Structure 1
Amino acid sequence: MSGDRQPWRYGTRADVLLAAGTGLFVVLTTVVGTGDPVALRSVPVTGWLLMLVASGALAFRRRYPVVVAVVTLVASMVYYPAINPDGALLVTLIIALYTLAAAGRTVAAGVIGGLAIVGSAFGEYGTDASPLGDAGMFLLVSWLVAAVAIGAFMHSTRREREEALRRRATEERLRIARELHDVLGHNISLINVQAGAALHALSRDGADGPAAEALTAIKETSREALRELRGTLGVLRQVDEEAPTAPAPGLRRLPELAERSRAAGLAVDVSTDGDAPDLTSAVDLAAYRIVQEALTNVARHAGAGRVAVRIGYGRDDVTVDVSDDGRGAGARVDGGSGIAGMRSRAEALGGTLEAADRPEGGFRVTARLPYGAGA
């Protein structure tokens, strides 16, 4: 998933409870004897420490799966040859291997599981102790292999489920995009044609002035909107093959955007700080759309006379700042849907967006988008 902020990757209270439950199970299987009557067995301090470390590590199994697997492996390899009585400490390694494989680290799980098998085989067949026997060795290998295999299967199943969800979401977006293409493409084309006809009529009659300038702005804006719409959605519909298409807009086209706003009567100043890096297409488009939406909000609601657009290229992110001298947040009568859309666009790329009144009057929108987003 975008950002890799998956619930699987982060420990939860459930992991703490699992660690506590596993620790209790390990302690009971180690301390409680099997005689009749049942007697408690004495465990040296080192054994208690190893049980505590191995069980406690499971609380971090999803945050640091490799480290937890190594810790439980080392604890087991130290415990069994050196500590008497035996217990079920090996279950901590089994859980850790399952977690590692379920997190998609199948190779690491296989290597660590293989080391556990080699160490157990050496203790069984390379010394005179032979604590497990052939049946015990077979069970040990089976448990370790099963832990890795089941974890890998769960990872594959989860990935397939996530892919299916993404595919359904994409299909729904495409369906909506097709509807938008049909509706908006038709209406914008009508606006463009009608504006052109009205402008032609004014020119034929020799009329000029604000009306002609407004019609020119409408014609140019509708043509640009139609071009972007076809460039974005035309491929989905495979229509209008002869119609000119354009790549997705980006910050390089801010001068055009500012000029259209000026034609609509809004004074727009554009400035840039820093050297522009090669932005990913997702970041470039998001930055452009945020400026576009902010200017639209100013034109619709703010009653502003001047807008300052500043693009700052920092070390890690690009900053988009749009400030106006209008009426402030109280003028946003749309309930903030435009701001919510801009914020969603920024957060989808791991960035942030703030929108608030300026102390000196007016309104300000500031977005920060990390360079690597959408790569």
Structure 2
Amino acid sequence: MSEDLEPVADRPLEPVDDVRGSALVDWDFAAATATRLAPAGPRASRAEIADLVADLRSAAARAVEPVAQTAQLSTPPGTPEALVVDRAGWIRANCASMGAMLEPVLDEVVAKKRSADRARAQQAGRELPDIGATSQAISAKVTGTEVAGLLSWISTKVLGQYDLAPQGNPTLMFVAPNVLAAERELEVDPGDFRLWVAVHEETHRVQFTAVPWLREHLIERARSMGTRIMPEPDDLGRRLREIATALPGVLRGEEDITQVVATPEQRERLAEVTAVMSLLEGHADVVMDEVGPSVIPTVAEIRRRFTQRRKGAGSVDKLLRRLLGMEAKMRQYQDGAVFVRGVMDEVGVEGFNRVWTSPETLPRPTEIADPQAWVARVHG
């Protein structure tokens, strides 16, 4: 299902030398492999695809005004229009963004590892061997294959995304085959469902375009968290044993994978990032529902069926969600929405929008479950 969909251009990373961590993953290979692995999507005629693409573009444009009125935030003029892509386009965009996001993280990890290896070599009175180009290329493709497997699965789930694109220009995307598959599965009104999805994603776009500091803040925090969560070279064996011991609990849904891979200190940092993500996802969920039946007549029915769909995932699907930490993301929607509604009940939309003032006014981890605590801290 690729006819008439806008391509997302490949954005290959710059060549790297043999000791840089950014060469640990062959992102171009990952994108190509994930594209081959990803299912094509639901069957549709050229006419159906053309209508779907046109309707998603229209929905993206029509979502701007109701989101601005409901959220009391506006996407600035001149913001690029949304793209409608297939699964391959989504994969290419996310490989480029993941590569750019992780490059400094992986560079630091490899630098630590090389430094530790160099110290051991000096103590042993020998030279630190160079990393062979052939060996590194093979390793990068192996890692790229693992990334491809994850992305190929995720590419079938995402309806839309505001890509922060650390390496370039942020883009709002809609994944056409996934929208079509979801609306058919849910048996909802296609026009209403497409606009409902567009409202959610437009809310994410307005969060980052109306609040200029937020994008760089989130990128920096994510990179910092990634660097901190990587184990020190000497600690890698112990950490792997701990993860292996905890894995059965993760698979049973008793533990969160993001908590398993982090130390107690790292969990505090992770909780700060999670609080922001809960805010963003919960705010988008609230806005998409608050837009109301005057704009989306069947919004209540769509929400009911969509929520039921989230709960009704199959056993394999649930297993993969647990391993990827996506169950935690589902909770972010719920916890964040409770926080947003709780604050709005106390101080209204204008009072809630104080949250966007600075990093200091973002909710703290304990405040996500206690909106009144945020109101007391920020509003006094």
Calculate the TM-score normalised by the size of structure 2: 0.23
> Taking CA–CA contacts closer than 8 Å with sequence separation of 6 or more, which of the two structures ends up with the larger relative contact order?
2
Select the structure that is richer in strand: 1
Select the structure that is richer in helix: 2
